[in-house]
A and B are shown apart, each in its own frame.
Chain A
């Protein structure tokens, strides 16, 4: 099915279409009059938690720790979203305000639901709303509205097949990085970074202790080593709003933790690393070792 990728802003729809009338998201962009083969869904907000991070590389200059951005689906009856009473129609956001409040109480941060910078937007899509919607129909789930993100780019799909989307992770990652640089999401803290290292370490250890030596296991080890190397590199990559501070913190973390990492990777003695440049050189070496 040929799906147009151009967004056209539509006026808010009436009724219980929450997002169309939402204060925070302003509106969803409606994509032309096309009905796609996909499951109906619900409108959503995007949110991230200061303790939830991952290392990403796609679309970035170097591996970087980025906040995990997840949806808060606004389905009536779920996690605090309620049906409006008869005299609340004038303010539809009342349906989910409490859900958002509960979520913020648990530490979640809500980024703006718009993108303006072309670097954050997939090719063919225009600036504006992150959330957009298609009319949809699914053979087993009925018809309704499909809600997507601007980074889910529709692909040409064979007739009768479920609509395929390509996720533009590069643009998405650049947007996430900007959330940190602009201070909307506070930079990753040491404890959270340690968690990332701990997890990657555990997976590498497991891959390396598998007794049978097969191509798959070797591939696994290489993959896990790459992940660790990415983390090491992210540790010395200044990314926050205050690069000086960020660099100092990252390097001090590097010194404290590189020993163990270096041992796992079989590369360098971290204590002898005099500068960030030396760390980077070691990383380059590690990357070569990992890809062998």
Chain B
């Protein structure tokens, strides 16, 4: 027994009959995250489904030298024979790859864990689609970093001149639709600083405000009044001492999946399919023998750049 001297104070009582802390009754707070959802941009097109095709590679065909690319031949004489014209055909390919994610939790943790703490296997499992979206984003960034042609330089910071070069590349390639530009947050910072130094911006308060305004959002429409959408993400690949940002029109990067709706898994009662993402999530039978529960998620997706005959594709590079 411990003597509590009057008056009975919290300081004396807490260590005997209370807790040094309890958890606040609110949702668990998640760490800062790169939450860019590339699907929201609408520029990475779903081009096919591998399921039931008999292959791991899809071809996306394109053609040219027809329609707007082919004019009538002048006929000098009313009885001239018209020679048939050739056409161009080509294709790009997408190959499927498989990804996996799993978590596990012991039975003891389930039993002894504090009620309502918010961290358990089911809650984590419910976040698998977010992990898939993050994977989607990083794979799109890899494909963007593989674009053959670049504007900017690996030895300098990003500037308005680079931005204008990028815009010109799309404007000069007639038929290109407005690109979406994906870049590292550092690249956006440098670009904004370069815009701020532009003489035009120094005498236009609206323009300056646009550059000075806090931009926590990861998708910015009409960046600097250019009409282009800028998306920022930490997933931009760094290579050769440079950020490998990239720009492409809608469809310039495509993806394909293997729909999982028809998949017969080992434990159907503990499985969930998300066919449109090519995902299967299942509780793994047999892990109970080790006093634990485990789920595994698998996805079958492929990503690839479109043909440069059809799309304008550019990397936007600047020094790290």
Contacts and interface: CB of A to CB of B under 8 A. Distances in A.
B274 to A, nearest CB: 17
A199 B234 CA distance: 30
Contact of B99 (A76, A80, A81, A139): A76
Main secondary structure of the interface of A (DSSP, over half): mixed
Contacts of A216: 197, 199
A206 interface: yes
Given A139-B31, A140-B32, A212-B202, A54 B153 contact: yes
B234 A77 contact: no
Interface string B221-244: 000000000000011011111001
Interface string A209-234: 01110101100100000000000000
Interface in A168-220: 169, 199, 203, 206-207, 210-212, 214, 216-217, 220
B93 A102 contact: yes
B240 A79 contact: no
Contact of A152 (B153, B203, B235, B241): B241
Contacts of B33: 140
Contact of B320 (A42, A76, A139, A165): A165
B148 A78 contact: no
Contact of A214 (B138, B148, B199): B199
A276 B143 CA distance: 44
A212 B198 CA distance: 9
Interface residues of A, number: 48
Interface in A31-75: 39, 41-42, 44, 49, 52, 54, 58, 68-73, 75
A228 B197 CA distance: 23
Contact of A39 (B57, B143, B155, B234): B234
A8 B261 CA distance: 48
B142 A82 contact: no
Interface of B: 31-34, 56-57, 93, 95-99, 138-139, 142-143, 145-146, 148-150, 153-155, 161, 164-165, 197, 199-200, 202-203, 234-235, 237-241, 244, 301-305, 315, 319-320
The 3 closest A-B pairs by CB, nearest first: A77-B97, A167-B241, A212-B199
Given A73-B146, A82-B97, 7 more contacts: A71-B239, A75-B142, A77-B97, A80-B57, A98-B57, A151-B241, A206-B164
Interface of A: 39, 41-42, 44, 49, 52, 54, 58, 68-73, 75-83, 98-99, 102, 106, 108, 139-141, 149, 151-152, 165, 167, 169, 199, 203, 206-207, 210-212, 214, 216-217, 220
